[in-house]
Amino acid sequence: MINNAAPEKPGRMAWFVFRSLARYLVSLFIPTFRYFGETNIKKTGHIFIEKNYGFQSWAYPLTIFKRPMRFIVADMNCDMQWYNTVADGGLFPVKLTGILESDYELIKTSIDNNENIILIIPQDEDNIFSNQLIQALKKDYINKISFMALSSGANYVFANNAVIPKNVNVTMVCGMPFVIKKDTSDNNFEELHMLEASSESATDVTEPHFLAYFFNK
Domain assignment present for residue 58? The answer is yes
Distance CA 61, CA 197 (A): 20
Whether the per-residue pLDDT at 6 is higher than 90: the answer is no
Domain assignment present for residue 2? The answer is no
The 10s digit of each residue's pLDDT in 94-145 is 999 999 999 999 999 999 999 999 999 999 999 999 999 999 998 899 888 8
The 10s digit of each residue's pLDDT in 24-60 is 999 998 888 988 877 766 678 899 999 999 999 999 9
If DSSP states are collapsed to H, E and C, what string results for 29-61? HCCCCEEEECCCCCCCCCEEEEECCCHHHHHHH
Whole-model pTM: value is 0.86
* Residue 78, φ and ψ in degrees, nearest 5: -70, 150
Residue with the bigger pLDDT between 124 and 178: it is: 124
Distance CA 118, CA 107 (A): 11
Number of domains into which the chain is organized: 1
Residue with the bigger pLDDT between 7 and 189: it is: 189
Domain assignment present for residue 30? The answer is yes
Distance CA 119, CA 121 (A): 6
Domain assignment present for residue 4? The answer is no
For residue 213, give every residue at least 6 positions away whose Cβ sits within 8 Å of its Cβ, in sequence order, or none.
177, 198
What is the residue range of 52's domain? Answer: 12-213
Residue with the bigger pLDDT between 182 and 140: it is: 140
- What is the model's pLDDT at position 194? 84
- Of the candidates 74, 47, 73, the residue with the CA atom closest to the CA atom of residue 143: 47
Domain assignment present for residue 160? The answer is yes
